[in-house]
């Protein structure tokens, strides 16, 4: 088995700019720590705005040649990256667990999921096409062409350090776009390791540039406002996303945003309760609840609410909490102490308003940012936990009595990323799916994410889609040519 130390020491700790691993201007570094024990894992380069400018210059300089690279070659680079990433799955999983906290089995699942974006888009690279048509008047031929948008800034989050990168990098490589990637300061090591892997499989210099920094705004804003940049893609909070969209307006950038969520998990009275609990475990506890797709509000028909709560509490309460690298651990630490405090404040607010914690609800003693799986019942409608994104292992349960009430409650949020519905009635799940104001709906399943499907939301959850046939369109421009006969 690979040791923690060997995984860490194999990761580059400098910036990748123009195909060279370089120190930050001035030589500044910052520490990456393990959320399970606060131990320092590595010190890595802390980029300055000047480094961001150098990275963009490298991406812009490589764009013309990369655009001209044949689609088959771009696809084969992605396929090779998929194969090598799959081969090294254990190392990447351990690296993610060390810097982010998720348990090793969860991390291995992310490697498989993240690698699949490379395989999917390796196959899409050769399927980019336009169309040829006769104009209605008959005297002109209408030709549409597809081409890469151009240099792209990618800002990725800490919660899925690999997959949130591959689902942006994959379509960009397939489409022929060059990139500057700015990973989250909490979890930069996985992206650095991924960049080294792409370099190893033959991605040309300057196509992918990586800047790690603790000054995200200072480094990214000048890049966003530079005329050489043509696209911005961001996964993260709605508050930050709004600021980035405003900055992108200066250059009228192509923008795709995957932002916050407040996912309802609706259980109707005719649902298979065991299947619903299985789905709830996936939708709530995937990634320790630190996911934008995490079930945030459990809306359960009053006739089955008590039984559902008991079964869910039994399952969540039995989960082993601890260091994600240890055997049998299912729930690792939250990313920071601030994150844990925020989750606990939501629980305390709900309890003070009348909710009851069936299981969990207390901060454990000892090192690390651990929080126990928690189930809340009798949660009042005014509780913050129902309005705000929890981003932790807390399941608040409320009840409803009619289909109309369930739909109204589910839609009563500014967010619109994903919703989950459990019912045995075919007509009902179709009606409810159509009525829900969300970009994605999971029917009798607790997982909707799939590289072959378009991932994304509506309302304050953002716009644009990642994955599926639609995912590559975010990195392509359409050119129309009218040819007279």
The answer to whether the beta carbons of residues 149 and 66 sit under 8 Å apart is: no
Model confidence, pTM: 0.97
pLDDT digits (tens, 9 = 90+) for 449-478: 999 999 999 999 999 999 999 999 999 999
Q: How far apart are CA 16 and CA 22, in angstroms?
A: 6
User: Domains (ranges, CATH) in the chain?
Assistant: 4-259+461-484 (3.40.605.10), 263-443 (3.40.309.10)
pLDDT at res. 105: 97
Residue 419 to residue 446: CA distance in whole angstroms: 9
| Per-residue 3-state assignment (H helix, E strand, C coil) for the chain | CCCHHHHHHCCCCCEEECCEEECCHHHCEEEEECCCCCCEEEEEECCCHHHHHHHHHHHHHHHHHHHHCCHHHHHHHHHHHHHHHHHCHHHHHHHHHHHHCCCHHHHHHHHHHHHHHHHHHHHHHHHCCCEEEECCCCCEEEEEEEEECCCEEEECCCCCCCHHHHHHHHHHHHHCCCEEEECCCCCCHHHHHHHHHHHHCCCCCCCEEECCCCCHHHHHHHHHCCCCCCEEEEECCHHHHHHHHHHHHHHCCEEEEECCCCEEEEECCCCCHHHHHHHHHHHHHHHHHCCCCCEEEEEEECCCHHHHHHHHHHHHHCCCECCCCCCCCCECCCCCHHHHHHHHHHHHHHHHCCCEEEECCCCCCCCCCCCCCEEEECCCCCCHHHCCCCCCCEEEEEEECCHHHHHHHHHCCCEECEEEEECCCHHHHHHHHHHCCCCEEEECCCCCCCCCCCECCEECCEECCECHHHHHHCCEEEEEEEEEC
Residues with catalytic roles: 258
Q: Does residue 427 register a pLDDT over 50?
A: yes
Q: What is the C-alpha separation between 420 and 277, in angstroms, rounded? A: 12
Quote the percentage of the chain above a pLDDT of 90: 99
Dihedral in degrees, nearest 10, Cα atoms 111, 283, 325, 212: 60
Q: Mean pLDDT, to the nearest integer, of 357-364? A: 97
| Under 8 Å between Cβ of 294 and 287 | yes
Confidence of residue 3 (pLDDT cuts 50, 70, 90): confident
Cα–Cα distance for residue pair 434/190, rounded to 1 Å: 38
Q: What is the pLDDT of residues 306-330, one digit of tens each?
A: 999 999 999 999 999 999 999 999 9
**Bridge partners (DSSP) listed for residue 297:** 264
**In this predicted model, what pLDDT tens digit does every residue of 31-77 receive, in sequence order?**
999 999 999 999 999 999 999 999 999 999 999 999 999 999 999 99
Buried b (16+ CB within 10 A) or exposed e, 234-259: bbbebebbeebbebbeebebbbbbbb
The pLDDT value recorded for residue 1 is 47
Count CB-CB contacts under 10 A for residue 183.
26
189-200 vs 163-175: helix crossing angle, rounded to 10:
30
Q: Looking at residue 2, what is its pLDDT?
A: 62
Tell me the mean pLDDT in the region 237-247: 98
The residues, any chain, with a CB within 8 Å of residue 31's CB and separated by 6 or more, are 40, 41, 42, 43
Task: Provide the pLDDT confidence category of residue 448 given band limits of 50, 70 and 90.
Answer: very high
């Amino acid at each position: 088995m690979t040791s923690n130390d060997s995984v860490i020491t194999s990761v580059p700790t400098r910036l990748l700019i123009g195909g060279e691993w370089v120190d930050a201007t001035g030589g500044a570094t910052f520490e990456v720590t393990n959320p399970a024990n606060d131990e320092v894992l590595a010190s890595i380069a802390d980029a300055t705005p000047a480094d961001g400018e150098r990275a963009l210059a490298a991406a812009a300089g490589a764009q013309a040649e990369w655009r001209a690279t044949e689609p088959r070659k771009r696809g084969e680079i992605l396929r090779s990256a998929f194969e090598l990433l799959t081969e090294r799955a254990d190392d990447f999983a351990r690296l993610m667990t060390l810097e982010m906290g998720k348990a090793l089995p969860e991390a291995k699942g992310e490697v498989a999921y993240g690698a699949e974006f490379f395989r999917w888009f390796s196959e899409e690279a050769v399927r980019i096409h336009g169309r040829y048509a006769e104009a209605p008047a008959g005297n002109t031929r209408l030709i549409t062409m597809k081409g890469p948008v151009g240099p792209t800034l990618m800002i990725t989050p800490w919660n899925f350090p690999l997959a949130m990168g591959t689902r942006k990098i994959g379509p960009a490589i397939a489409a022929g776009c060059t990139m500057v990637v700015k990973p989250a300061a909490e979890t930069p090591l996985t992206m650095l390791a991924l960049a080294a892997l792409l370099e190893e499989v033959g991605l040309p210099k300057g196509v992918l540039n990586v800047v790690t920094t603790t000054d995200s705004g200072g480094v990214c804003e000048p890049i966003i406002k530079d005329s050489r940049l043509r696209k911005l893609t961001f996964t993260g909070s709605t508050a930050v996303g709004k600021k980035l969209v405003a900055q992108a307006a200066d250059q009228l950038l192509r923008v795709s945003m995957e932002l916050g969520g407040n996912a309802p998990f609706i259980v109707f009275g005719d649902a298979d309760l065991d299947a619903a609990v299985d789905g709830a475990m996936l939708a709530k506890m995937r990634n320790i609840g630190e996911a934008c797709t995490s079930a945030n509000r459990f809306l359960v028909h009053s006739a089955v609410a008590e039984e559902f709560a008991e079964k869910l509490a039994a399952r969540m309460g039995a989960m082993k909490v601890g260091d994600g690298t240890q055997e049998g651990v299912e729930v690792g630490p939250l990313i920071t102490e601030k994150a844990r405090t925020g989750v606990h404040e939501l629980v305390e607010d709900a309890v003070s308003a009348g909710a009851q914690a069936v299981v969990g609800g207390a901060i454990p003693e000892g090192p690390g940012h651990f929080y126990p799986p928690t189930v809340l019942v009798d949660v009042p409608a005014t509780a913050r936990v129902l309005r705000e994104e929890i981003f932790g292992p807390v399941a608040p349960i409320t009840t409803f009595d009619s289909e109309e009430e369930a739909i109204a409650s589910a839609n009563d949020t500014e967010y619109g990323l994903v919703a989950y519905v459990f019912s045995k009635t075919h007509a009902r799940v179709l009606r409810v799916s159509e009525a829900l104001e969300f970009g994605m709906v999971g029917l009798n399943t607790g997982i909707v994410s799939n590289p072959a499907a378009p991932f994304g939301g509506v309302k304050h959850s953002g716009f644009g889609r990642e994955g599926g046939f639609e995912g590559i369109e975010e990195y392509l421009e359409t050119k129309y040519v009218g040819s007279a006969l």
